[in-house]
Amino acid sequence: MLLFTVLLLALVCPASTQAQNPQPSPTPLTAPPPLKVIPKEERQQLDDAKDLKQRLRLSIDFADAHLTRAEQLTMQTEYEVASNEVGTYHAIIEDALENLSSLKQDSNKTRDLYKRLELALRADGPRLTSMRRVTPLEFAVWIKKVEDFARAGRTEALNSFYGHTVVREKTAPEKPEDKPKESPTPQSPKSNQP
């Protein structure tokens, strides 16, 4: 009987110890970040563009094609390949923003190019959001970063329309002696009577 009690205690004690100190569940690891690389043939076409307008148009077309491909791959649950397409999208938009930032900012042509890019990024925002929502967390983290980057790119494009002349300089408050003196109001003769 003593042997039975000892065996019973041996089985119960380790089980109760494990119940009190459960093993923490491992945190899900994120997938590696997608490579921000522009394919060689697309880079060649961008470099061969004869003017900045054509280069930006090609950039927007390439970025749109990669984002469309990423959406299709996401629907097919091929998240790793879709992540690579999102990385290529990111690289193309980053390249376009770098080219635009090197231009003269007070030019109407530059503002037109920024506006074209801003319109494209505005349309891409909801697409990235919907793709992120159906993607597993380990890949969705990187889509969120690209989504934030696109939002920041839109902000940069919109800021090109508002130069330093929009914000007015603060002027010193008016001095009291600068204000015109108020003229006394004439009193009616009836008010002078006691």
Split into its structural domains, the chain has a count of 1
pLDDT in tens, 153-175: 888 888 777 765 545 556 655 55
What does the pLDDT read at residue 173?
59
* Total number of residues shown for the chain: 194
Instruction: Tell whether 42 is covered by a domain.
Output: yes
**In one letter, which amino acid is 91?**
A
Q: Is 183 left (phi over 0), alpha (psi -120 to 50) or beta?
A: beta
Instruction: Tell whether 18 is covered by a domain.
Output: no
Instruction: Tell whether 142 is covered by a domain.
Output: yes
Instruction: Tell whether 106 is covered by a domain.
Output: yes
Q: Measure the CA–CA gap between 16 and 20, rounded to whole angstroms.
A: 6
**In one letter, which amino acid is 133?**
R
pLDDT in tens, 114-159: 889 888 988 988 898 899 898 888 888 888 998 898 888 888 888 7
- Quote the domain boundaries for residue 130: 31-159
- Record the tokens describing residue 121, joined without a space: 């990024």
Q: Measure the CA–CA gap between 41 and 60, rounded to whole angstroms.
A: 15
What does the pLDDT read at residue 137?
86
- Record the tokens describing residue 113, joined without a space: 């190019």
